[in-house]
A and B are shown apart, each in its own frame.
Chain A
Amino acid sequence: MDVSRIVIAGLGAVSPAGWNVAALREALAKGEPLPVQSVERPGWQKPLRARLVPNPVPRPEFLAHPRLRRTSPVTHYAAAAALEATACLRASPEVKRRLGLIVCLQAGCVQYTCRFFDETLKNPATASPLLFPETVYAAPGSHIAALLKDVTLVYSLVGDPASFLQGIALGAQWLEEKRVDACLVIGAEELNWILADALRYFDRSAILTSGAGALCLCRENEVAAGVKLATITDAHTYSMHRNRNLAARNMRRQLDGGTAGELLYDGLGGSPRADEAERTAWKDWSGVRLSPKRILGEGLMAAAAWQCVAACDAIANGRSTAANVSLVGSNQQTIGARFVRTSPSISHLSASGDAGNIPA
């Protein structure tokens, strides 16, 4: 029996494809890897490769908000995704909702952290006090809470990309306990040379990218929405003592599906070594399979969020009645999720998709 009461009321995304869900959808539909740009690496003649988020044209008005003027890109991406995902809530401003906010990060605010530490090494007496507060993991969540105003509860979660589904589970818990009336879960990252440099040690073929993805969760009886959260598996932790492949297989076993027409949004990026556990775990899958990282790049927590956004968007657009998301994290755990359609008469997103909301 399906006892889920949590629906996905809105989606948001910023990716190398652009500043909304529609751009993400279009890039994934096209199926071609996005162009790669160069990132200068100090001390090296050859630059590193990355997929950069394009500058938004025109510059979004919200970036002029006093709390966002000096923030680093991760906050800009997360805020844009947050606004898109909560457009459905702002459509009825007369309804006062207590909003929960969970921001999931793996690398976090690396740009200002590196800038500030560089300044510290050169001369701590002149290191900028404006930069330091923006280096903390909690900074994006704080700024977005100030931007959205109705936020009453905020957690910043750190972990490998599978943690994004822990964030979704936590949001669902806050909703079920009626601590909030809607909960926004965001996965976001920014990139710089040091992150691209570190990634090379583990996966030379991976191309780093950045951005954000957001899901706005609500209780089913309070918002009309077309996509429902059906299942989030256990968190299958792995370590030096516990096998990653086994953790991936255990995650797979807890998810249903695989019938024709169902979708799987996996995290395969094209590296035989990094992909092995996930590829093996899902070898029995007979439904349609999509691998957003092959098109967008390795976006760490943002990539996990894009997988969920893309899965929900596909259901909302009538491309399937159910979609599984497989997150085999880089150094912590594997978690999977299943999203399903709430009713057979689902409406489709608007052509532009700018609002990011999922009508029932």
Chain B
Amino acid sequence: MLFPFPPSAAAPRIVITGAGIVTALGIGWKPNAEGFRAGRRAFRPVSLFDVSRQRAKVAAEVDLPVTLPQTTLNARQTARLDRAGMMLLLAANEAWRQAGWESTENLPLVLGTTSGGMTLGEAYFRQALQTPLRKRRQPTRAVYYQAQVQARTVLDAFDSSGPITIISNACASGSNAVGHAWDLIRSGQAECVFAGGYDALSELVFSGFDALQALSPTVCRPFDARRDGLALGEGATMITLETLEHARRRNAPILGELIAYSTSIDHHHLTQPHPQGDTTLKVMSQACATAGIAPTDVDYINAHGTGTVLNDSSEALAIGRWAGSRATTLPVSSTKANVGHLLGAAGAVEAVVCLMALREQWLPTQGAFESPDPACNFPIVNKPRDARINVALSNSFGFGGVNATLIFRRWT
């Protein structure tokens, strides 16, 4: 039953046993880990749609494979997947295989996305206007455009079933999805949850950010004094979360532990953060309180760091206020400089970047950075280097004001 809830017991420890990642750096843990470690940038001229009349011309596009992995989806279902659905399936397959999960009837799936199958929606709109009497493929587009249908396809791919929750808190969606999965396990509603985020590049969204003049016409350089905007990317991440007890029962490999999640709302403006970063400070502080740690215990921050003037100054001020004197030695980077802003996938992808850093003991290198913004009193990681990392924190903020923080601990 979704309600009443099971009797509350002591909150279990929650670990991650599988992670799948798809970005413009590649498909899978290995190419992404190598890319994030080296600070590789994955932008190129947009080829998916016409950007000749846009200010910005580049994005981090994913090269999809010709064939999708073997799952229990039938040919019809596979053929109906759009770009976003394919990336989601690729990420889910990697995480599922790595975790060694088996098909089950009650596996909660929590996804974050901002636009689901938007490219299908765009195709529907075009055809409905340009050839209004033509019906071909329109019903399929209308169904597969919806995020819950893409989510359902993921469960079908692994012959599983369970409650599906789609969180669409704009660019915080991916972090909220991972955090909500953590909440479900902590509250005793589930022992295992499949969670992640995904979004594909689409003409509407690209045009939207371009219309807002939020896209960089040069190079996306988060926290740089000369930053002039964000760059868009696309991708997907799925992770398998389970109680430590469950993972140990299965002798599952553990990638890391999720020790805190916090979320709150910034009322300041629909698209602008509070200039002093009040809400960011609040969620970072709340997450630390939940984890029972102090800022001095945090070894790395994967910042939201979009590269826009307003976001980065607000987040920089918040990090400075939160970390105090620790800020001057606390490594921070924004991997959006490498793979772009993945919107609904961003928080989940950045969670996996944190897991990579914790597992392999290096700092994710920000792909572009020259001179720091005066608001930054922390070092930006812009050169590859190994480091001893026990705790990593990831920030995500969205249009509409939802802020979210996740904290991960190294598993040894």
Q: Are A136 and B399 in contact (CB under 8 A)?
A: yes
Tell me the residues in window 141-194 of chain B with beta carbons closer than 8 Å to chain A beta carbons. 142-143, 146-149, 151-153, 155-156, 159, 161-170, 176, 180, 183, 187, 189
Bound Cα distance A203, B275 (Å): 49
Total interface residues on A, using CB and 8 Å? 81
Tell me the residues in window 123-177 of chain A with beta carbons closer than 8 Å to chain B beta carbons. 123-125, 127-129, 132-139, 141-143, 145-146, 149, 151-160, 163, 165-166, 168-170, 172-173, 176-177
Bound Cα distance A194, B125 (Å): 7
Q: Are A155 and B167 in contact (CB under 8 A)?
A: yes
**Residue among B116, B170, B180 with the most chain A CB within 10 A?**
B170
B208-216, B231-239, B251-259: which lies at the interface: B208-216
Q: Which of B146, B208, B398 contacts A331 (CB 8 A)?
A: B146
Q: Are A138 and B400 in contact (CB under 8 A)?
A: yes
Given the known interface contacts A116-B208, A201-B139, the answer about A138 and B399 at a Cβ–Cβ threshold of 8 Å is yes
**Residue among A165, A197, A239 with the most chain B CB within 10 A?**
A239
Query: Closest approach, in angstroms, between the C-beta of A274 and any C-beta of chain B?
Result: 14
Q: How many inter-chain contacts with C-beta < 8 Å in the A-B complex? A: 219
B27-35, B57-65, B264-272: which lies at the interface: B264-272
Given the known interface contacts A169-B2, A198-B124, A332-B164, the answer about A124 and B169 at a Cβ–Cβ threshold of 8 Å is no
* Closest partner residue, chain A, to B398 (CB atom): A138
Inter-chain contacts of B211 with A (CB < 8 A): 124, 127-129, 132
Q: Which of B116, B163, B213, B400 contacts A166 (CB 8 A)?
A: B163
Q: Are A331 and B183 in contact (CB under 8 A)?
A: no
Inter-chain contacts of A202 with B (CB < 8 A): 139, 142
Q: Are A136 and B155 in contact (CB under 8 A)?
A: no
* Closest partner residue, chain B, to A167 (CB atom): B165
Q: Are A201 and B147 in contact (CB under 8 A)?
A: no
Q: Are A229 and B401 in contact (CB under 8 A)?
A: no
Given the known interface contacts A201-B142, A331-B149, A332-B152, the answer about A146 and B267 at a Cβ–Cβ threshold of 8 Å is yes
Bound Cα distance A127, B53 (Å): 11
Q: Are A239 and B5 in contact (CB under 8 A)?
A: no
Tell me the residues in window 280-336 of chain A with beta carbons closer than 8 Å to chain B beta carbons. 331-333, 335
Q: Are B114 and A137 in contact (CB under 8 A)?
A: yes
Interface on chain B toward A: helix, strand, loop, or mixed SS?
A: mixed
Does B48 sit at the interface, judged by CB under 8 A?
A: no
Query: Closest approach, in angstroms, between the C-beta of B147 and any C-beta of chain A?
Result: 5
Inter-chain contacts of B114 with A (CB < 8 A): 136-138
Query: Closest approach, in angstroms, between the C-beta of A129 and any C-beta of chain B?
Result: 4
Inter-chain contacts of A106 with B (CB < 8 A): 146
Q: Which of B167, B189, B207 contacts A120 (CB 8 A)?
A: B207
Q: Are A166 and B165 in contact (CB under 8 A)?
A: yes
A-B contact pairs, 5 of them (CB 8 A): A120-B204, A137-B170, A229-B3, A331-B149, A332-B164
Q: Spell out B's residues near A (CB within 8 Å).
A: 1-5, 53-54, 72, 74, 76-77, 106, 113-114, 116, 121-122, 124-126, 128-129, 132-133, 135, 138-139, 142-143, 146-149, 151-153, 155-156, 159, 161-170, 176, 180, 183, 187, 189, 203-204, 207-213, 263-265, 267, 270-271, 398-402
What 3 A-B pairs are tightest by C-beta distance, nearest first?
A43-B132, A142-B400, A132-B208
Q: Spell out A's residues near B (CB within 8 Å).
A: 3-4, 6, 41-44, 67, 101, 105-106, 108, 113-114, 116-118, 120-121, 123-125, 127-129, 132-139, 141-143, 145-146, 149, 151-160, 163, 165-166, 168-170, 172-173, 176-177, 194, 197-198, 201-202, 229, 231-235, 237, 239-242, 254, 331-333, 335, 337
